[in-house]
Chain A
Amino acid sequence: MKEQQETANRPDNTAFTQQRLPAWQPMLSAGIVIPGFVIIGLAFIGIGIALFVTSQNIQVLERDYTGVENNSPCFKCSDPSTKNCVCKLDFSLDKLFEGPVFFYYGLSNYFQNYRKYGVSRDDRQLSGRLDNFQSPDEGCVPYQYDANNKPIVPCGSVANSLFNDTFKLYQIVNGARKLVPFDGKGIAWWTDHNVKYRNPSITPLKNAFNGTVKPTFWSKPAYELDPSDPANNGFVNQDFLVWMRRAALPDFRKLYRRITEGDYKNGLPAGNYSLEIAYNYPVLDFDGRKKVVFSNVSWMGGKNQFLGIAYLVIGSLCVVMSIVMLIVYAKFKFPDEE
């Protein structure tokens, strides 16, 4: 007992309190760094080659249809005063465009990542909460209520600016136009379609929208986006979902349709094609561009040479630096010990 009294203040003798925790004290020694750089360099070069080669094999067909130039087929439609304008974009493929082929629309100089634009939506409304149908979120201003003070559903800038050009693709076979079937199912994220966006559980859907108005820019209300298919109507309409997923950069593509059916299962055969565009979406005011893109994909996704080249460059630099380090190390290996 007395012993304890005398050493009552004695600190504990543990590895932690005495800062003697077992530890590994690695050093950036030449034996690790130089071979490490070589290995990493080689690995990067390998990845780079794989990416680059893969990317080279991906076919992409991209056409601008904004109609800025006079000779552009959509020039006539670019005048905002023309309504329901349809233009045709012809192109030909000289070899098979391997399937599955994805068809995208693209916008340039379009700032979907603008902050205020991005927050101008009501996620509660979009998840089907009826309270928010009658009183949409403050953030939707100026697309919260219309001039008559009726709530707008879906509210906000993002929904309001829904891309509304539509496309039809025809293959010209012996002068006749053969419609290439588009598959519009599952082009949006599964989670968007099944979790994030929900229609109110009221049938018919139309009733849920009582007392509300459609967004000002829209030609038809949300419950008529695809009346034929309840799973593609209202807030869970695939095109709507694709649009609502904002792009990260002002130059973006969005998936429009897949070409996976019928004669085009294996891709678009060589030949002439005509794309019929219902030109509705105005972009010229803000100097935007619209385009369509056909592309197929590989394990790494679509065509992008940047990553492959970057890997190659970094990999080579690693190897070069390992040599430089080796030389420097050899020169300074035995510095004067003092």
Chain B
Amino acid sequence: EEASLSAEPRYRHWKVKANDRAYHHLPEFQRKVFLCIKKSKYSGNAIKTYKYNVLTFLPLNLFEQFKRAANLYFLGLLILQVIPQISTLPWYTTLVPLVLVLSITAMKDLVDDLARHRMDKEINNRKCEVLLDGRFQESKWRHIQVGDVVRLKKNDFIPADILLLSSSNPNSLCYVETAELDGETNLKFKMGLRVTDERLQEESQLARFDALIECEEPNNRLDKFTGTMLWRRERYPLDLDNMLLRGCKIRNTDFCHGLVIFAGADTKIMRNGGKTRFKRTKIDELMNYMVYTIFVLLILVAAGLAIGHTFWYEEIGSKAWYLYDGKDEDASYRGFLSFWGYIIVLNTMVPISLYVSVEVIRLGQSKFINWDLQMYFPEKDTPAKARTTTLNEQLGQIEYIFSDKTGTLTQNIMAFKKCTISGQTYGVFTFRDSQHRPVDFSWNRYADRKFQFMDHSLVALIRSRKDKDALEFFKLLSLCHTVMVEQKEDDLVYQAASPDEGALVTAARNFGYVFLSRTQDTITIREMDQETTYEMLALLDFNSDRKRMSIILRAPDGRIRLYCKGADTVIYERLSPNSRHKQSTQDALDRFANETLRTLCLCYRDVSRDEYDAWARKHKDASVTMTDREAALDRVYEQIENNLMLLGATAIEDKLQDGVPETIAKLAKADIKIWVLTGDKKETAENIGFSCELLTDDMQIHYGEDINEKLTVRQANRRNEPLSSGRNRKKAPEPFFPQPGKNALIITGGWLVSFAQGPRRPRCGEMLQVGRRAGIDFVDMACECEAVICCRVTPKQKANVVSLVKKYKKAVTLSIGDGANDVNMIKTADIGVGISGQEGMQAVMSSDYAFAQFRYLQRLLLVHGRWSYIRMCKFLRYFFYKNFAFTLVHFWYSFFSGYSSQVAYEDWFITIYNVLYSSLPVLLVGLLDQDVNDKLSLKFPKLYLPGQQGLLFNYKNFFISLFHGIFTSLIIFFIPYGAFLQTMGQDGEAPSDYQSFAVVTASSLVITVNLQISLDTSYWTFVNCFAVLGSIAIYFGIMFDIHSAGIHVIFPSIFTFTGAASNALRQPYLWLTIILTVGISLLPVICIQFLHKTIWPSVGDKVQRHRKKYEMEEEEKKKPPAFQRGQRSRRSAYAFSHSRGYADLISSGRSIRRRPAARGEQKETETLHWNQ
């Protein structure tokens, strides 16, 4: 209600004039865009999702890249390096890698943006008919403007938010499919205003249309629209029922006319898109903080060394005549310069290639996801797709999954599976029909070929026409519903308000009871081979309180009969005492419930003429009641829906996708909590919860209402708490559900609103506080439950739930969905997964990962996510380590070189170290490493836990890497130092020159870090082997080349280490030094690792230890067919995805076309009001 309040004052500002493009460019509608350039506030219909064009690409992209702290840092470094007073390393040591990094990223951005360009172009160039110059002309979407009158045809996408004026259907009715908007595939109807329906059918009339629409400003509310139309001096109210929203599709309507109200960026779907947020992983954040830490460390170290230099210069340097440099600078100024010099020398502590390496690894991991055959869905030829390449390791840290229901957990296919008629159950799988041959319906020319039924006995029963009840059962199914029918060529097409109903009517059709047509007061069906028309006396509509619907019919022979279908709970209360088969039907219902089929009870009642007349009068009275008409009607309905005779029950399967229960069970074992967020009704959602084993019979299910109580108590307690005790609020709050056992929570969107909106209400601080606490309480409580199901939630609410958990639990969340209604939630969650291969692509387009089946989620998380996480952690730990080990040698050397920022290695070694000598093995570990294979990863979901807890990479690990690096650098410097201090070579020449020293430290370093990564590699493929040996070989190869005579002759001042390698490495003494250095660097690590794994083995270590055994088991294992029968439960499996209102539509006759002449022997009525 808040939005409407704020919208009210601005209400008058959105004015749209039909057929008057110039009107919208009047100065009063202009708004300042840039300086004095003004633009109409009405957006054009072109959408723009791309970021760059040809001109802006380079500057904008560079600007964006330099917004990253790391790039900016290296730019700063580059600038420092060209200042001659400071430069301690040649400029190319930074420029080359920086350019490399920038261009790789720019390339990636370019490819992404090109894809967006293509997409925009495709959409903007779609065709549509626009009324221009008095007639309809084909036009591109992007040329449509506010105020245009457009004509849409059947199956067209709606190009903008349009006011429906008229359509080819009576009363300007227009059906739309809103799958893209809310994910619901059943049709919705929209209606034109009466006045426009009557006067705007012809092109010429439309061309003269000049109404002024005043309405709310563009907003993102899909469920609300208010406005008025001023036409011919009269005002007409407009609401959402008159609006066709962009993103929907016209169905079952040959053509319709509309007036564009919001175009392009103003449309509700675009407004609803939510901002594209740049998603980052937890590790990204951590990594950034660590880089900052390193940076601070770098500054401290550099400052310390600069101070050291100041003192050293004061004491020694200034007196050393040989160091005279002709500059009259005092020691502190030299110290200052030395500070910058050290920043440059030690810059490799902040690894420049870190980010680009991380991106390469993530790219590779994404490719592995794309390539995975086990996430490829052959039926639709859809492979998994990692649409973002930046989030892979986050997949290994998921704590909460938010799942959509329809299309995600279920296939959104309702199948008539079983039924029980007069206590006899049909459709049960028996071993007699073991060949699985479905029933042959070819005897029935109306049969729907897609329909399958396994039980042959039922057909035989019906065709024999012996069992009256069975015939009545299917007659009921063909009569008692609100389905609409359409004759398409030779086929009947049913338009059902809910898929359940469609399934039931289709079942009846196949069994010989074909619903052929309806008028507002008749229903014609074909009973086996004879057409019968029933007069419909009353349609007692469905609603969620009544949980049933009834129809009162007069048969051709004059008998009046009431047919009713509904939930077992409400039907059983109203059964006649004479009704038979109650117990056997109840047993069947229980069995159905156990199999998580959705059930409905069917029953009838004969009504006498007098009784009906009496009731009809009451009904008429009630239907004109002014106050509380619905309640009055319900009471009247109640009076006739009693003494019912039970016929049987139907069982519909809401088909789950393959492997959903197994996946959920597996994920639950990995301590991932799964919340189902659905727009569906409570019953449906609960039913699905059971069928996918999210809910089990041993769970205590809590509903919104009892939760409210608990939350109120909690809040009251808090309020009563004295303020002084606020200090120790840290104490863990007592659990909401003190009693042992599993709990589940089922709440509705309406209930959620109060909490979801709480944090968003910034009006006053107190409210905010209350909202916040309520939010925390709710999230705390929900997190105590094993399962949470939120039903009847809007897309915005879905997103709000996700952000609540994200905010208060600081947890890593994943949303999975398939429809446009999941877009918000997908974008809000840390990771969004879209189910691809469905009709709507919106969810996929905004998702980070997309695949065809829900069951692939377990592989994505438990295998790819886990591997990615482990690999990334290993990679980062090692990467930090190798850079510390590398860089800090300079630090130790400083103490012996007068703090003069002398580097301990050759410049070329510094340039290439991160590129060639140490990068490939660790990159391969980041790409290929597996501690255990995919089968074991799936077998032991507990292996996923370290990722959730972030155990493999955190500040502790970072400091371990830091100390490990410090240790290695210490060894690498001081062992050669000790060996070099006073000695001479085999041939008497002093080997203690700087260049030999540099060769020895560099060789020790390269060998040490490469062996260290070998220790960290748990999956040795030939590539790894090749990389490790190759890195060391390349090091020696390049070193010998750089130190060769030839290259020095060509570039004497660039390659100055001539002969150093050959001279140094000829000495056995230096080899012994290298061996000792490497040994001391590695042996303690091995020792500590061994002890740690022996004393405190992790789950992973244990699995690894018995890897061989488990792998053998896995090979041998042949799963016995899961054949389980749960114990009986007394819960009702009633579920029906229906909503009220369709009866009105039918009985109003608005949707019904003239009857075909063939069947129209009765009165041809054009009257649109049905009077009793």
Contact = CB atoms under 8 A, between A and B. Distances in A.
B80 to A, nearest CB: 15
Given A7-B381, A13-B373, A161-B322, A27 B1105 contact: yes
Given A6-B381, A102-B988, A195 B1045 contact: yes
Q: How large is the interface on A (under 10, 10 to 19, 20 to 34, 35 or more residues)?
A: 35 or more
Interface string A245-264: 11111111111001000000
Contact of A19 (B928, B991, B1053): B928
A304 B981 contact: yes
B997 interface: yes
B1086 A111 contact: no
Contacts of A127: 1048-1049, 1052
Given A196-B1048, A287-B319, A300 B1056 contact: no
Contacts of B1095: 328, 332
Of the candidates A17, A19, A30, the one having the most CB atoms from chain B within 10 angstroms of its own CB is A19
Contacts of A191: 1045, 1058-1059, 1062-1063
B382 interface: yes
A239 interface: no
Given A25-B1107, A191-B1059, A300-B1069, A248 B323 contact: no
B1067 interface: yes
B1019 interface: yes
A307 B978 contact: yes
B982 A302 contact: yes
B372 interface: yes
Interface stretch (B394-402, B895-903, B1156-1164): B895-903
A123 to B, nearest CB: 4
A314 B1059 CA distance: 32
A277 interface: no
B1068 interface: yes
Contacts of B928: 19, 21
A189 B1090 CA distance: 46
A285 interface: yes
A120 to B, nearest CB: 8
A12 B986 CA distance: 58
Contacts of A92: none
Given A100-B988, A123-B1056, A189-B989, A7 B930 contact: no
Contacts of A13: 373
Given A123-B1052, A191-B1062, A325-B1090, A157 B930 contact: no
Interface string A90-129: 0000000000101010000111111111101011101101
B926 to A, nearest CB: 13
B1083 A314 contact: yes
B659 interface: no
Contacts of B985: 297, 301-302
A7 B376 CA distance: 10
B1020 interface: yes
A218 B703 CA distance: 97
A300 B986 contact: yes
A28 B1068 contact: no
Contacts of B1048: 127, 195-196
A8 B376 CA distance: 12
B1136 to A, nearest CB: 37
Interface of A: 6-13, 17-19, 21-28, 30, 33, 36-37, 40, 44, 47, 51, 100, 102, 104, 109-118, 120, 122-124, 126-127, 129, 137, 141-142, 157, 160-161, 187-192, 195-196, 245-255, 258, 282, 285-288, 295, 297, 299-304, 306-307, 310-311, 314, 318, 321, 325, 328-329, 332, 335, 337
Given A25-B1020, A255-B988, 8 more contacts: A18-B372, A28-B1015, A114-B900, A191-B1058, A195-B1048, A245-B994, A246-B995, A301-B984
Interface of B: 88, 316-317, 319-327, 341, 368, 370-374, 376, 378, 381-383, 867, 896-898, 900-903, 928, 930, 934, 975, 977-998, 1015, 1018-1023, 1045, 1048-1049, 1052-1053, 1056, 1058-1059, 1062-1063, 1067-1069, 1072-1073, 1076, 1079-1080, 1083, 1086-1087, 1089-1091, 1093-1095, 1097, 1102, 1104-1105, 1107
28 contacts: A10-B383, A17-B372, A18-B373, A19-B928, A19-B930, A22-B1021, A25-B1020, A25-B1104, A28-B1086, A33-B1090, A40-B1083, A111-B900, A113-B900, A123-B1053, A190-B1059, A191-B1063, A195-B1059, A246-B993, A248-B997, A249-B896, A249-B980, A250-B898, A287-B319, A299-B986, A301-B986, A302-B984, A304-B1069, A329-B1094
Closest 3 pairs between A and B when the two form their complex, measured CB to CB: A142-B326, A191-B1059, A248-B997
